[in-house]
């Protein structure tokens, strides 16, 4: 797909634009010649660091604000063509122990994004969601499922406004803040035991570049209300821990065999295996070579959900324990390709 043709000259706003995925979107966007990229987040320190890193980019704008504040969000969105909504509470334990806050940010924040986008008649809004929204067992997953449903409902709620709303559903983006990769690395380099919740646990994984590419594909393909899901491999957490121990233990002069692995049990809200699509969702999903497209359960006459080369998806659940599982060698290659082993050595 020609991202440059699509984004050239457009005004883009990224909520949570200083976060791991949000900043990845911003950096890639800049190469496609948008007119302006507005970075909307509540962390002034990260904004200052990002402004320094990207110094000289005249088409960057920084807005302090919170998606909980509709008035501020609407002002920041004025005149924008494309909105990437990445701001969220993302950590399962934090949401589990602070469910009221998760509702405020993940659900009401999404409602504010919808209302602001309709008020300014933005062209497209793309929500970043999570595989934890499929058959959720956690507050975080349930709140992101509700956010997806708001994006879908907005397609039918918008009336004659031009705005197209859609969602993308991620697995675990390797290296993101709070993900297991940097946590395991810190534990290894601090001479602590690697703390596994469950060695048999499996997770869908993807790199940051794959996540951003999925977002951009969805932006162009979206007709309104869909959830786009990348076909991802999975990893077994015990294999991931072994690869990271082998790659980083020597930095402290320790042999990999001397690093202890401790199983601590699953945390509240966690599943042993994640799910991309439920059986019900698969029954209305389409499939491309690398993507599933989950079409809305509501039929709406003026939206035709047809895409080049799309076919009906297999009906069934899509669990991480049944997906192609990366070997230790493949995990190492994936981490290296995303610069994460290099970071481990530098640490």
| DSSP symbols for 294-316 | E--SS--TT-----TT-EEPPSS
Query: CB–CB of 220/288 below 8 Å?
Result: no
How far apart are the C-alpha atoms of 103 and 96, rounded to whole Å? 11
Whether the CB-CB separation of 296 and 164 falls below 8 Å is answered with no
> What distances in angstroms separate CA 190 from CA 89, 187, 239, 248, one per listed residue?
27, 5, 20, 11
Q: Where are the alpha helices (DSSP H) in 222-302?
A: 237-248, 279-282
Question: Active site residue: 10, 90, 132, 271, which one?
Answer: 132
The answer to whether residue 346 is catalytic is: no
Q: Tell me how far apart the alpha carbons of residues 36 and 26 are, in angstroms, rounded to a whole number.
A: 10
- CA 96 to centroid of chain Cα atoms: 19
- Residues 227 and 8: beta-carbon distance below 8 Å: no
Q: Which residues are catalytic?
A: 132
């Amino acid at each position: 797909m020609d991202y440059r043709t699509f984004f050239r000259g457009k005004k883009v706003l990224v909520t949570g634009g200083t976060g791991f995925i949000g900043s990845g979107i911003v950096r890639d966007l800049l190469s496609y010649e948008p007119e302006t990229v507005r970075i909307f987040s509540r962390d002034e320190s990260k904004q200052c660091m990002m402004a320094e890193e990207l110094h000289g980019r005249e088409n960057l704008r920084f807005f302090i604000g919170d998606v909980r504040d509709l008035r501020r969000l609407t002002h920041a969105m004025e005149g924008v063509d494309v909105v990437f909504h990445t701001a969220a509470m993302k950590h399962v334990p934090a949401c589990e122990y602070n469910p009221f806050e998760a509702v405020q940010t993940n659900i009401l924040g999404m409602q504010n994004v919808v209302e602001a986008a309709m008020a300014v008649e933005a062209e497209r809004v793309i929500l970043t969601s999570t595989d934890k929204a499929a058959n959720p067992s956690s507050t975080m997953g349930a709140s992101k499922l509700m956010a997806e449903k708001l994006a879908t409902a907005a397609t039918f709620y918008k009336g004659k406004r031009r705005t197209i709303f859609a969602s993308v559903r991620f697995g675990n983006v390797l290296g993101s803040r709070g993900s297991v990769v940097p946590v395991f690395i810190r534990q290894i380099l601090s001479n602590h035991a690697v703390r596994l919740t469950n060695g048999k646990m499996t997770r869908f994984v993807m790199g940051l570049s794959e996540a951003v590419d999925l977002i951009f594909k969805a932006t162009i393909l979206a007709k309104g209300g869909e959830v786009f899901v990348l076909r991802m491999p999975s990893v077994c957490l015990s294999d991931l821990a072994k690869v990271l121990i082998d790659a980083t233990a020597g930095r402290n002069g320790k042999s990999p065999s001397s690093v202890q692995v401790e199983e601590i049990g699953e945390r509240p809200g966690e599943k042993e295996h994640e799910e991309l699509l439920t059986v019900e969702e698969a029954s209305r999903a389409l499939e491309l070579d690398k993507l599933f497209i989950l079409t809305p359960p509501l039929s709406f006459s003026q939206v035709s959900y047809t895409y080049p080369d799309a076919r009906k998806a297999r009906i069934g659940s899509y669990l991480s324990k049944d997906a192609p599982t990366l070997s230790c060698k493949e995990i190492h290659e994936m981490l290296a390709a995303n610069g994460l082993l290099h970071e481990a050595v530098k640490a």
